A and B are shown apart, each in its own frame.
Chain A
Amino acid sequence: MATDNYQGHDYYLIDELLTDEHKLIRDTARTFVKKSISPIIEEACQKSEFPKQIVKGLAEIGAFGPTIPQEYGGAGLDYISYGIIMQEIERGDSGIRSMASVQGSLVMYPIYAFGSEEQKRKWLPSLAAGEKIGCFGLTEPDHGSNPNGMVSNIKDKGTYYLLNGAKMWISNSPIADIAVVWAKDEEGVIRGMIVERGMEGFTTPETHGKWSLRASATGELVFDNVKIPKENVFPGVKGLKGPLSCLNMARYGISWGSVGPALDCYDSALRYSKQRIQFGKPIASFQLTQKKLAEMITEITKAQLLCWRLGVLMNDKRATPAQISMAKRNNVNMALQIAREARQIHGGMGITGEYPIMRHMMNLESVITYEGTHDIHLLITGMDVTGISAFE
């Protein structure tokens, strides 16, 4: 990729709603992305390799569990800071943001919220420091949008549980030291547990051939009579609300995160359209290009306001899951549309690795599907406003 000349865009002066510390956190994350992600991301994606060398740097900028209290190794920041960090990382690449979201929201958060004191002390500090990597196993080959139908299960064997089943589409699985896994007990109640690499019968085959999130490692989790010590099961939660509350955290992060690639695509398209001359003029002077650019910044601005307001509600513990669904759905879709329009503005150059556009576009095809598909989030809003569920 060519040099990263990214500059933020703030059409409605939303920065004035941020604190100096928020801006310093953003500045830090942005500098990290320019220095450590942009120079290597194109090659990592082309080779379909997770760039492990950036994990330590991600930990240093607070990407792993920024809202987790400092006593457990987190940064104890507010939700707006968390959103800002996710946005800057995803501006670099959605795959890297996915890795960080999983680590923070889907692994550290459930350990913090539902884990025993020993589980928290044992795992959180090393996850926050990036010394250990985690993954989150909810989706199964036959149960994606409907996780409640899962068949992975545990049987009480007195001193331990016996875990059987398989999970699919699991981000970080091939590189993870631990997996937070959701499986049904003998009463059919969903329970959460920590499965450690090295436990007998536990394997993590990698999923190859992705055209999206190529810098993020994805794989399966296969459990063949894995003995899970009882102290690895979360004492604090039973039922689907366990995994769903994790997804809320991650979806909130995605709402902010997805504005990152939208800004990057807009920023690149704006610059390119002023430099690219056709018919003797910069292509930015044509009305059709201006329409694209004007609509992009309008949609970005709306999404930024949605993020900020949702962040305030999260800080006040008032954000509802349906509000988070609305922001996730709107912002990811917005980013994907902008990536497509930006690609057109870049003409043929838009399909090359010289520009980040095509990579963002392909990444966003996963982001619009995982953590609840675009349609499922629409149905959540539908259910919220009508009181009637249309997906069961």
Chain B
Amino acid sequence: MKFLVCISHVPDTTTRITFTPDGKAFNTAGVQFIINPYDEMALTRALELKEAQGGTVTVINVGLAVTEPTIRKALAIGADDAIRINAEPIDALFVANEIANVAKNEKYDIVFGGRESIDYNGCQVMTMVAEFLELPSVAIATKLDVNGTSATLEREIDGGKEIVSVNLPFVVSAQKDFAEPRIPNMRGIMSARTKPLKVVEPTNAIKASASVAFQSPPAKSECKMISAEHPEELIQLLHTEAKII
């Protein structure tokens, strides 16, 4: 089976987000980047399926050369090869279009991605990829099993769970619980050195949107600590200072 996993290069979850002085862009100075955690779960599941029934796992990323360490990590975890589309991933429609352009010639059995990337949280790319490829799409899945030419997936829905059956090929976006990410081992890191990483130029699909400005949320106001032994102080403050009781 041929699997394609879309991975994005995002700031580490503990990053303190700041913006450039003009407020138009995210300030990347000193920021550590990682594989988007949902994409990493998708990658892990793809590798598990490959190990169980054979096949290949290709990772694809839309990004400039700075994303290559992240792509190498995906190769170290176990992907067989990688494609980088050499463009700034500014807009979901653009990214999805570029991925679909590469994917359509390769006839992948499953195209994986994450439910959203944890930087801009657009939640759009994978469903757009499905649309461009004219494939069924299962979004925000927590589980995926393949049985021959079809697959069974689980999705969390309000108050329960939905079991979905779909024929291959299809597009899936992963949600928490999809798989437990792995630590690359030393052998993986060593073999990632020589695995193919192909760089392709973008077709310059249209960009549908652009960020105009960013604003940080208002700073948290000061926190007052009240000793647990004196709940009456809390009542007093809620009454006189906060004036809510």
Does A277 belong to the interface (CB within 8 Å)? Answer: yes
7 of the cross-chain contacts (CB-CB < 8 Å) are A20-B72, A24-B73, A24-B76, A24-B189, A28-B183, A60-B187, A62-B189
A60 engages B73 (CB within 8 Å): no
B186 engages A62 (CB within 8 Å): yes
Q: Mark B34-71, 1 if CB is under 8 A from A, else 0.
A: 00000000000000000000000000000000001100
What are the residues of chain B within 8 A of A35 when measuring CB–CB? 183
Closest to A27 in B: B73
What are the residues of chain A within 8 A of B192 when measuring CB–CB? 24
Give CA–CA (A206, B183) in the complex, Å.
34
Closest to A277 in B: B225
Q: Which 9 A-B pairs have the closest CB atoms?
A: A62-B186, A60-B185, A20-B69, A75-B186, A31-B183, A28-B184, A32-B183, A28-B183, A24-B73
Tell me, rounded to whole Å, the shortest Cβ–Cβ distance linking B232 to chain A.
19
Give CA–CA (A20, B190) in the complex, Å.
12
Does B240 belong to the interface (CB within 8 Å)? Answer: no
Q: Which of B72, B185, B186 has the most CB of A within 10 A?
A: B186
What are the residues of chain B within 8 A of A62 when measuring CB–CB? 185-186, 189
Q: Mark A17-36, 1 if CB is under 8 A from B, else 0.
A: 00011011101100110010
B72 engages A61 (CB within 8 Å): no
B185 engages A61 (CB within 8 Å): yes
Does A70 belong to the interface (CB within 8 Å)? Answer: yes
Closest to B30 in A: A13
Closest to A7 in B: B14
Task: Using known A-B contacts A21-B193, A24-B69, A24-B72, determine if residue A60 contacts B14 with beta carbons closer than 8 Å.
Answer: no
**Number of residues from A at the complex interface, CB < 8 A:** 20
Task: Using known A-B contacts A7-B14, A20-B68, A21-B193, determine if residue A61 contacts B186 with beta carbons closer than 8 Å.
Answer: yes
What are the residues of chain B within 8 A of A7 when measuring CB–CB? 14
What are the residues of chain B within 8 A of A76 when measuring CB–CB? 190
Task: Using known A-B contacts A20-B68, A20-B69, determine if residue A61 contacts B183 with beta carbons closer than 8 Å.
Answer: yes
Task: Using known A-B contacts A7-B14, A21-B193, A277-B225, determine if residue A66 contacts B72 with beta carbons closer than 8 Å.
Answer: no
Closest to B185 in A: A60
Tell me, rounded to whole Å, the shortest Cβ–Cβ distance linking B17 to chain A.
15
What are the residues of chain A within 8 A of B186 when measuring CB–CB? 25, 28, 60-62, 66, 75, 77
Give CA–CA (A329, B215) in the complex, Å.
49
What are the residues of chain B within 8 A of A31 when measuring CB–CB? 183
Tell me, rounded to whole Å, the shortest Cβ–Cβ distance linking B102 to chain A.
24
Residues of A within 8 A of B (CB): 7, 20-21, 23-25, 27-28, 31-32, 35, 60-62, 66, 70, 75-77, 277
Closest to A23 in B: B69
What are the residues of chain B within 8 A of A28 when measuring CB–CB? 76, 183-186, 189
Give CA–CA (A24, B70) in the complex, Å.
9
Q: Which of A32, A60, A66, A77 has the most CB of B within 10 A?
A: A60
Give CA–CA (A28, B187) in the complex, Å.
12
Give CA–CA (A55, B185) in the complex, Å.
13
Task: Using known A-B contacts A24-B76, A31-B183, determine if residue A75 contacts B190 with beta carbons closer than 8 Å.
Answer: yes
What are the residues of chain B within 8 A of A60 when measuring CB–CB? 183, 185-187
Give CA–CA (A76, B189) in the complex, Å.
11
What are the residues of chain B within 8 A of A25 when measuring CB–CB? 186, 189
Give CA–CA (A20, B73) in the complex, Å.
10
Tell me, rounded to whole Å, the shortest Cβ–Cβ distance linking A167 to chain B.
31
B189 engages A21 (CB within 8 Å): yes
What are the residues of chain B within 8 A of A27 when measuring CB–CB? 73
Closest to B190 in A: A75
What are the residues of chain A within 8 A of B72 when measuring CB–CB? 20-21, 24
> For chain B residues 61-115, which have a beta carbon within 8 Å of chain A?
68-69, 72-73, 76
Closest to A280 in B: B225
Tell me, rounded to whole Å, the shortest Cβ–Cβ distance linking B2 to chain A.
26
What are the residues of chain A within 8 A of B73 when measuring CB–CB? 24, 27
Give CA–CA (A35, B183) in the complex, Å.
10
Q: Which of B68, B73, B192, B225 has the most CB of A within 10 A?
A: B73
